[in-house]
Structure 1
Amino acid sequence: MVSRNETKGARIMSDLDQQLRKQAYEEVNKQKEVVESDPYRLAYHVMPPVGLLNDPNGFIQYDGVYHLFYQWNPFKTEHGAKFWGHYTSKDLVHWEHQDITLTPSDWFDKNGCYSGSAIEHDGKMYLFYTGNVKDENNNRETYQVMVESKDGVHFEKKGVVVHLPEGYTPHFRDPKVWKHEEFFYMIIGAQSHDETGKAVLLRSDDLENWEHLGAIAGAHVGPFEDFGYMWECPDLFELNGQDVLVFSPQGLEPNGIYYQNLYQAGYVVGNVDYDSVQYKHGDFVELDRGFEFYAPQTTEDDKGRRIMIGWLGLPEEREDAHPTIEHKWIHAMTLPRELKLIDGKVYQLPVEELEQLRGEGVKHEAVELGEKAQALEGVEGDVLEINVETLETVTNEITIHIRNHANLVYNPIDKLFKLDRISYVDGETVEERFCHLQQLKSVRIFLDTSSIEVFINGGEEVFTARIYPDVNENGISFAAEGEEKVTIEAWKLK
């Protein structure tokens, strides 16, 4: 679903910029055969052509085309001086890889063009990102940089527009920009001097001159006494008349079945008072209950949908153990998801365009499940969509066995839904993630060669994970501890 387009930008580039681009393309070509020989290469997800991919950046629909930029290290499967890679799509399904957008080639970003966002204004696309700078003693400097494009193809760095305000450490990054009434606003993830996470608001009337308004969320700002030592990748937007702040806090301790990953990604819901610079909001809720999901970013398209894409990975968590690094690449993006706010909760639905991927399909109606796991004709493979609908109130535990490597389990007594998998670290340990669920009505599963995304009850809960079964393990089966009736549909995905 992803093709490559190496059309070069026409703007005048510095010698270092040209050199870095040349080296990156050489690495892509050098490792192409190794990368594409990986059986775990995904079929319909966005991936790096080589090296490491992380945060989605600059997600926007511009002139009818969806643009998805991303953090990219083309030279190794480790974090380093990041580039901005660039994908485009007309339908959120078929993606083309474009020319490199940003290289770490200027004094204000020499150690990495870190995460940021995009906005359209007066027919132009503007990117905002964090320039990362480190000295020989690893001391950090941070700058917020603006980039201009007249066509979504050629990009020109315009320079630094925000320097580090007082009160924050240099962990001050990931600007998300939008317009509200007559002003532009920028929200930035930050760490204050007391080493607590914050979401910081700035305002501008021209995109170039920014006024620091202060923190609107974080420790000692609103209901949180302490909520992690750093907030990354904030994204503030309106949904169904309320203001949703999505962010990725670092430093949360596990809390029962929640916050089990090294870092989290989630949201709060409330209302922003732009005049008094206050945000009254509720509790934090994880967006995804699975193993790999981080740094999501949203955009609103011309259909009025709020669409989110996340990083199908996590920073610093066992990254050296993924089998794909042997093939010189690591990580991917999630499927694009439409967000809806229902009774104060964010629901996530795979965008309807993904139905274009469907090929041959089968439907098994009123299947009677029992203790013996049963496979169904046409419901097998490694690139598959499966939809399970319960026909009655579930009173017995239901299990879906996936490729001899992962299980989806709903326990109606404990009101828990579980995803477990065999760890890719040692190939033996069984790892588990849970969420509370009052009743199971439907499970929609997107399987790719080495990933799984699970949407429960129309997006009420979501689980995302990488899985690495043996390439020949393609079986799917269903079981219940007592009699349960379900209807199961499945499609091979193209």
Structure 2
Amino acid sequence: MYFNGVYHLFYQYNPKGAVWGNIVWAHSVSHDLINWIPLEPAIFPSKPFDKYGCWSGSATVLPGNKPVILYTGIIDKNNTQVQNYAVPKNISDPYLREWVKPDDNPLIVAEGPVNKTAFRDPTTAWLGNDGEWRILVGGRYKDTGMAFLYKSKDFKKWTKANARGILHSSPRTGNWECPDFYPVAINGSNGLDASVKGPNEKHVLKVSLDATRFEYYTVGTYHPDTDTYEPDNTSPDNWKGLRYDYGNFYASKSFFDPSKNRRVLWGWANESDPVKDDIKKGWAGIQLIPRTITLDPSGKQLLQWPVEELDTLRGPNLSWEDVKLEKGDPFVVPNVTGAQADVEVVFTFQSLDKAEPFDPKWKDLDAQDVCTEKGDTPGGLGPFGLLALATKDLAEYTAVHFRVFKDGDKHKVLLCSDGRRGSLRQGMYAPAFGGYVDVDLKAKMTLELRTLIDHSVVESFGENGKTCISSRVYPAKAIFDKAQLIAFNNGTEPITLENIDVYSMKSPKMN
């Protein structure tokens, strides 16, 4: 949340080890979303209503400038989950270091057929037309994912918001974790507070799928008169749905930043190395670079982009124009710190004629499956892109690349982030992630890519953030000054780097 000029990040943390367990609410603060100061934990198990764990939740700033946290407490060894609240002990403390959990907790308990062990992660609240607050709690009924909906006049007594007590559900999606629900402006790039209502916005419902450990979202319409949500017919409402990120990205949460009128998204990147390595290095899991969220002009999907403050870490700009990439003739980017870089590239090509035919069998597969099958093997129009965290002999590299297919009278653009050669170490989980990019290549014969490289992370944003992929890799040799950055083309169609702008990145103040 943003409160009195300070950004507050609360996150799930184990103070006793690098693996999951002993979870508390850690707390860090920042003035710019980039440099962070760690504080003591804000919430930790101490009461009967959270004795066995303080799990995820959200913050809401109530009228009168009063912040309140809603979180999931575990009350017994059976993993029974309830929803609690906490408030600052001293509102005049600029960092809100201490939080109090009143004894009138819990606020919400699972009733009736609701699965009490799958009932967690309350959202930021929004104010309805009737003057009552509303929140979602994630869960399931059998194999149907549920977004339970509650309302309250005083933020203390909560009841079902409609007869079913459900905003939305989807069969065969399993348990919904970390739901997020917020409006997005149909026109313009400004973010919206959760309580904004009117004819000029859509709503987004995002859920984290416990069964698959990825997330999907839909764009649709919120009906406040019935307290229901209806996804648009352009948003698949199942495991095949749109995703914020097609790689290592989970348990995300957004917030409205009133200081810059934007919605900011935080995503967690889990690990790709074995648990024994996590224990050895003493930590596991990171927050990725915060992103702004806007609605694409098409209205069909979101756009994501690194927050503008990230640019403060950029070193001098290295720039090239009109660099030709013939098949198998790479461009090794000189004078850049390849282990810590920000790269923006515009790729152009003269013809779509060499695009490979899209295999009909792929229509039922995820983009990741197609990336896995094709890899960076030679093709027609693509693959072309970047080799990040690469060694000189290419024994290690993570390939971020486009490949264009001909599918009937249209073209299908695939973005891959392939980490299968990202490390020579054993036991790594580094698959070939992938997502399709919704773009009309006949209208413009270009594709744009921005990639953030940070030692064990490669975050890529295709076509101004239409398709995003984050990969976790731990190179054995392509580390520090041994890491190279290479632009490549393995297709028979020549590619031109119309522009390539590269910045070596400085390190922020971290925990």
Please indicate the TM-score interval, normalised by the length of the shorter structure.
Answer: 0.7 to 0.9
Aligned to 1:491: 503
Q: How far apart in 2 are the matches of 1:322 and 1:361?
A: 39
Aligned to 1:331: 285
Amino acid in structure 2 at the alignment position of 1:146: Y
3-state SS in 1 of match to 2:214: coil
Aligned to 2:155: 207
Change over 3 Å in CA distance of 1:326–1:429 after alignment to 2: closer
Question: In the alignment, is the contact (CA less than 8 A) between 2:339 and 2:483 conserved in 1?
Answer: yes
Residue of 467, 478, 485 corresponding to 1:476: 485
Change over 3 Å in CA distance of 1:64–1:332 after alignment to 2: same
Aligned to 1:378: 335
Residue of 383, 395, 406 corresponding to 2:398: 406
Q: How far apart in 1 are the matches of 2:218 and 2:322?
A: 39
Report deviation, 1:380. 4.2
- Say what the alpha-carbon RMSD is for the aligned residues: 2.0
Change over 3 Å in CA distance of 1:485–1:293 after alignment to 2: same
Change over 3 Å in CA distance of 1:388–1:208 after alignment to 2: same
Q: How far apart in 1 are the matches of 2:350 and 2:265?
A: 31
Question: In the alignment, is the contact (CA less than 8 A) between 1:361 and 1:378 conserved in 2?
Answer: no
Q: How far apart in 2 are the matches of 1:86 and 1:206?
A: 26
Report deviation, 1:197. 1.5
Report deviation, 1:394. 6.9
Aligned to 1:431: 431
Aligned to 1:239: 184
Alignment of 1:11-410 (within 5 A): 60-121=1-62, 122-135=64-77, 139-149=78-88, 150-151=91-92, 152-158=96-102, 159-170=105-116, 171-181=118-128, 182-192=131-141, 194-213=142-161, 214-219=165-170, 226-240=171-185, 241-251=201-211, 262-282=212-232, 283-284=236-237, 285-302=241-258, 303-313=260-270, 320-321=274-275, 323-342=277-296, 343=298, 344-370=300-326, 371-392=328-349, 395=352, 396-397=381-382, 398-404=384-390, 405-410=397-402
Report deviation, 1:196. 2.3
Question: In the alignment, is the contact (CA less than 8 A) between 2:268 and 2:287 conserved in 1?
Answer: yes
3-state SS in 2 of match to 1:325: helix
Amino acid in structure 1 at the alignment position of 2:322: A
Aligned to 1:52: none
Change over 3 Å in CA distance of 1:162–1:266 after alignment to 2: same
Amino acid in structure 2 at the alignment position of 1:143: V
Amino acid in structure 2 at the alignment position of 1:218: S
Q: How far apart in 1 are the matches of 2:389 and 2:155?
A: 50
Amino acid in structure 2 at the alignment position of 1:418: C
Question: In the alignment, is the contact (CA less than 8 A) between 1:165 and 1:212 conserved in 2?
Answer: no
Q: How far apart in 1 are the matches of 2:158 and 2:501?
A: 52
Question: In the alignment, is the contact (CA less than 8 A) between 1:374 and 1:478 conserved in 2?
Answer: yes
Q: How far apart in 2 are the matches of 1:299 and 1:415?
A: 31
Question: In the alignment, is the contact (CA less than 8 A) between 1:218 and 1:227 conserved in 2?
Answer: no
Q: Displaced runs of 4+ in structure 1, greater than 6 A? A: none
Change over 3 Å in CA distance of 1:172–1:428 after alignment to 2: closer
Question: In the alignment, is the contact (CA less than 8 A) between 1:113 and 1:129 conserved in 2?
Answer: yes
Q: How far apart in 2 are the matches of 1:380 and 1:366?
A: 22
Question: In the alignment, is the contact (CA less than 8 A) between 2:19 and 2:279 conserved in 1?
Answer: no
Question: In the alignment, is the contact (CA less than 8 A) between 1:394 and 1:484 conserved in 2?
Answer: no
Task: Return 5+ residue gaps in structure 1 as ranges.
Answer: 1-59, 220-225, 252-261
Aligned to 1:455: 461
Q: How far apart in 2 are the matches of 1:90 and 1:123?
A: 18
Report deviation, 1:321. 4.1
Q: How far apart in 2 are the matches of 1:368 and 1:322?
A: 44
Q: How far apart in 2 are the matches of 1:176 and 1:235?
A: 6
- Deviations, residues 393-425 of structure 1 (Å, cap 9, x unaligned): 675311311123210121123632211003767
How many positions carry a matched residue from both structures? Answer: 412
Change over 3 Å in CA distance of 1:212–1:354 after alignment to 2: same
3-state SS in 1 of match to 2:42: coil
3-state SS in 2 of match to 1:415: strand
3-state SS in 2 of match to 1:168: coil
Amino acid in structure 2 at the alignment position of 1:230: N
- Deviations, residues 57-116 of structure 1 (Å, cap 9, x unaligned): xxx111111111000011122221310001111111111111210111211111110000
Change over 3 Å in CA distance of 1:429–1:325 after alignment to 2: closer
Identity of matched residues, %: 25
3-state SS in 2 of match to 1:291: coil
Q: How far apart in 1 are the matches of 2:100 and 2:156?
A: 14
3-state SS in 2 of match to 1:441: strand
Aligned to 2:408: none
Report deviation, 1:296. 0.7
Amino acid in structure 1 at the alignment position of 2:111: P
3-state SS in 2 of match to 1:160: coil
Report deviation, 1:372. 1.7
TM-score, structure 2 as length reference = 0.77
